[in-house]
Amino acid sequence: MVSTKLVDGRATPASFGWRFYQVEVHQSNMAPLMGLDRLWRRFDRLDTVPHIRSLGTVAVIGDTLVIGVGGSSVTVWSYDVRTKELTRSPVPDWFNASWVTPPAALSPDGRFIAYLSQDRDTTRLTVRSWPQGRIVAQTPPVSLRPLNPPHGGYIVWGNPNELEANFPVSDSGPSIASLQAVVRGERVEVARWAIYPDYSDPDVRRPIAAPEPAPGETKAVEQTEDQWTRADRLIKRLPPAEFPELPTAFKAELEQAGCTIPQSGFDESRNNVIHGSFGAMGQEDWAVLCSRNGTSSIFMHWGGPVQCPSERLPQSDKNFLQGMPEGIVFSRSIAATTSYHVYPDDDSAGVDREVLMDHDGIDDVFQGKGSTVWLCRGGAWIAFAGGD
């Protein structure tokens, strides 16, 4: 039989404080007995999946194939235990709209994947069949609560038939969303879904009994918003008209769509409007971070025939707030870049290096945390690791 173990976890800025793990592969002729790991693992043939560090869980299929999704390679990967062959492929398009934290979780048999999916300004815990991508379960929409560092919650399969998750949300104030689900054939059934106050959060507002009004007197109870909601409301968002360098047609498109452009608190000058050769070398394209109803997407204006989807990666502005000495600031920004980063664990030579691209990419940055480089190629966006 084949089993796996995650070892030697290391955190990088791109993982928002979560650890990337090496994947140990154990092959044994003895069935593992509960509580006797040390005994039966003594007879294992031990292997390690090369050049891979996994952020989420991995799965074993048919005692020959170990698979994983995401991690520092931002790919789908599989490792043949017999031939020692590692293959990688881009993650499915629908998985690009997933939150990194908490990490997605493959069921132990590789039939399903559970993750937090983004939909405009809301988030759902979604379960899909793997690798087909058919939605088999989904929770009601919630709003994720930003944590600093943002590594709260978990998504865990206790066994191939039971899923459990909890994660911080801001619905009804600082709260925890909790789920338990079970597999029923080809379906996943939500057995329990609840949202309850997170009294461990320092910003939670415990209910306070209002004083009894005097006879014949009424008194309004003042409702106050928490500091994160207020900071989100006070993000500086500029109209497209404030950027005269934008092409006239693109400016009109942004205004028609109701876009404003959120400003990163890390840059005193106007920001989040960029241009470069994002489709192909020599083609002049534009990109803007467009904020609508508290959610920002990367909006594109293509200057030539080589194009990819014109809107991508909608994420709640509130999730890019972080506490600084001067207060809570918005920390998402985009920039043109000519390279992406390769970490030693993703490189056959084990070298930390920058890779030059044949045309510009978009560096989508969570300031002070990490970034993802998006490259338009073959009509689709491809994700690479950014710098620290």
* DSSP letters for 14-32: GGTTPEEEEEEEEE-SSPP
With b for 16 or more beta-carbon neighbours within 10 A and e for fewer, the 75-105 pattern comes to: bbbbbebeeeeeeeeebbeebbbbbbbbbbb
Question: Quick one: pLDDT band at residue 210, thresholds 50, 70, 90?
Answer: very low
Average pLDDT score over residue span 338-367: 80
Cβ atoms of 68 and 55 closer than 8 Å: no
Lowest-pLDDT range, 70-74, 107-111, 313-317? 70-74
**Single-letter amino acid, residue 320:** F
pLDDT one-digit tens code per residue, 141-152:
888 876 554 456
Q: What are phi and psi of 211, to 5 degrees?
A: -65, 145
Average pLDDT across the chain, whole number: 79
Predicted local distance difference test score (pLDDT) of residue 250: 94
Question: Quick one: pLDDT band at residue 73, thresholds 50, 70, 90?
Answer: low
What tokens appear for 23 in the block? 């994947």
Cβ atoms of 67 and 77 closer than 8 Å: yes
Residue 240 neighbours by CB distance under 10 Å: 22
Average pLDDT score over residue span 157-178: 83
Predicted local distance difference test score (pLDDT) of residue 380: 87
Cβ-count burial of 58 within 10 angstroms (0-12 exposed, 13-18 middle, 19+ buried)? buried
Residue 57 has pLDDT above 70, yes or no: yes
pLDDT one-digit tens code per residue, 242-259:
999 999 999 999 998 899
Q: Which of 16-30, 63-77, 312-326 has the highest mean pLDDT?
A: 312-326
For the chain, count helices (H), then strands (E): 3, 27
What number of residues does the chain have?
A: 388
Give the whole-angstrom CA distance, residue 156 versus residue 162.
Answer: 9
pLDDT one-digit tens code per residue, 222-232:
344 578 888 88
Nearest to 285 by CA among 242, 258, 249: 249
Predicted local distance difference test score (pLDDT) of residue 360: 96
Cβ atoms of 181 and 190 closer than 8 Å: yes
One-character DSSP codes across 105-122: EE-TTSSEEEEEEEETTE
Residue 289 neighbours by CB distance under 10 Å: 25
pLDDT one-digit tens code per residue, 181-202:
999 888 898 888 888 777 665 5
Give the whole-angstrom CA distance, residue 176 versus residue 193.
Answer: 11
Residue 159 has pLDDT above 70, yes or no: yes
pLDDT one-digit tens code per residue, 74-117:
678 788 888 888 888 888 888 877 776 788 888 888 899 998 88
Helix, strand, coil % over all residues of the chain, rounded to 5: 10, 45, 40
